[in-house]
Amino acid sequence: MQFSKVHTDIIPLVGGVDMVTTPILINPGKCIFANNFEPDINGGYRRMRGIERFDGRPRPSSATYQVIDCIITGPLVVGDTIIGSISNATAKVAYINGPTNMIVTDATGSFTVESFKVGATEYGAISHVTSEGSMTNQQHALYKNASSDLYRSLILPVPGSGPGRGVKYYKGNVYAFRDNIDATACVMHKATSSGWVVVQFGRELRFDGAVGEILEGQIVTGLTSGATGVVKRALLRTGTWTVAGVGTLVFDSITGVFQDNEAVQVGGSTKVTANGADSAITLLPGGKFEFDIVNFQGNVEASRMYCADGVNKVGEFDGERWVPIRTGVGSDNPKFVVGHNKQIICSIESEIVVSGIGAPYSFTALTGAAQIATGETITGLKTQVGNADSGVLVIATERKIYMLYGNDLTDYKLVAHSPDSGAVAYTLQNIGFAHYFDINGLTQLMASQAYGSFQSHILTQAVQPYIDDKSGKVVASSIVRNQNLYRIYFNDGSGLNIQIKPNSNSNSPSIGDIMPFDYGSRVMFMVDSAVDMSGKERKYGACSDGYVYEIDVGTSFDGDPINAFLILAFNHS
């Protein structure tokens, strides 16, 4: 008997999701839909990694466990902390297998054959302890999950109300912002090994009529009030220290209360005149933070975090204190901020405000400060690679893209790069060069110059029906460096993984595979992607539920299963 010859074909999974081509014409390996998969930088698709709530405590996915054979005599429940009567070892109960076996996690010390207590009461006796690993795969998964759930239950949202307003990795720490419980102020928190702690702000004293310079570290005294304080920051906004200087002094604390219009002295010599009483530094609620880390001094340790949220003044943070920076322009509530050419550049509605050169506190022409009007509401700022003679700053607005060429006030030149292609706020990201979402999808900076406002400049045409369905829902974006991904987040918890491929032609689109994802009810209000001090990429999301989530860690969506699937094209589809 002759058997028919077996033919085999290898079909690489490549091309991502294609929602616009007639299914029968789609290339093999492409999907007609997918969920919670992403393009792999090494080729093919892979299920997305998980997300986990974060507050500085250990990750749930890092939980380990021990299996304890024992006799349980007390009313033991999951979450109890047991204490060895001889070893004084402690652990939390993650799972109970009847009266003779329990799973514990978060152990300190080593249990032996001994009785154990909960509090001061004996709850049973331990006969044998086994470290994780020596059990079936099903048991391991069950015990690992139970231990992770216990870790997860200890991690809390950022205290307050409403969504997370911002999150940023800076100098080895993670900082988060959220409105207080009464929504009367926004509060900054720091993640620690015991959870979120409030970052305490100091006090400030505004001054004018400067006749002498005040330096950081000097003690100032109010001539009338007798109030005193050690100056931590001396900000000169306009004028000079000897002629009509106007600015702010920042203190960690003040003894007494400075009075309006009194002379402020150093060592008995008047330096400035108080412009009002000193006041506590606070943040108004309701903003959405953008950050840039800038170093004006060259010293590695001198980098500072600059923050804008569209509600408050630009803030500078050095890991210890928050310094409000006044520009003196309009409502003075910049929405975006970036360090560029040794200057701080921020946007207030349709206007670009530029600080002095190497002087982030100064907004006077004497130090090279400038104001540049665009005539459009600004939606993002990103520095681009310039050349030996000139820097380049992308200024995105709702309807146009501008390029700011030059180095300072003497040679700045604002050019309309894409007069008919705008960017949605919070979507401007650098992957090689600028990428941003407009109302129709993802655009590359070079592509928009080449193709203007025509549909051909949109790089996400393959999923256009999906993008049309999400119109007006964009809330945030981020990049994934080690996968060359641009991520866009929508206000229903969904989003897109968009692969950016290198291309030798800088004027040609270089889009890769595109695949949707869905975090469910968790809406990432703002996402930070940073490289930590060990060189690893970290991603954190400030979420609508008040939690901060670490992104691309673990194997679940914060304990929920990852609903991941691929639907490939097939002959009769």
Cα atoms found within 13 Å of the Cα of residue 228, Cβ hemisphere only:
7
User: How far is C-alpha 539 from the geometric centre of its chain's CA atoms?
Assistant: 7
**Stretch 51-67: mean pLDDT:** 96
Give the Cα separation of 247 and 357 in Å (integer): 17
Residue 457 has pLDDT above 90, yes or no: no
Q: Which residue do the tokens 């509600």 mark?
A: 311
Give the CA angle between residues 265, 268, 269 to the nearest 5°.
60
Q: How confident is the model at residue 508 (pLDDT cuts 50, 70, 90)?
A: low
The model's pLDDT over 8-36, given as tens digits with 9 standing for 90+, comes to 888 889 999 999 998 888 988 999 999 99
Half-sphere CA count of 92, side-chain side, radius 13 A: 17
Whether residue 454 has pLDDT greater than 50: no
- Strands 290-294 and 279-280 turn out to be unpaired
Percent residues over pLDDT 70 in the chain:
95
Bridge-based pairing of strands 263-266 and 269-274 is: antiparallel
Q: How far apart are alpha carbons 209 and 142 in whole angstroms?
A: 70
The per-residue pLDDT for range 75-122, each reduced to its tens digit, is 999 999 999 999 999 999 999 999 999 999 999 999 999 999 999 999
**pLDDT number for residue 572:** 52
Q: Mind spelling out the 3-state secondary structure of 134-197?
A: CCCHHHHHHHHHHHHHHHHHHCCCCCCEEEEEEEEEECCEEEEEEECCCCCCEEEEEEECCEEE
Q: In the block, which residue shows the tokens 């690993």?
A: 133
What is the pTM for the complete model shown?
0.93
* Mean pLDDT to the nearest integer, 234-239: 95
pLDDT digits (tens, 9 = 90+) for 249-259: 999 999 999 99
Has residue 219 got a pLDDT over 70? yes
Q: Give tens-digit pLDDT for 144-159.
A: 999 999 999 999 999 9
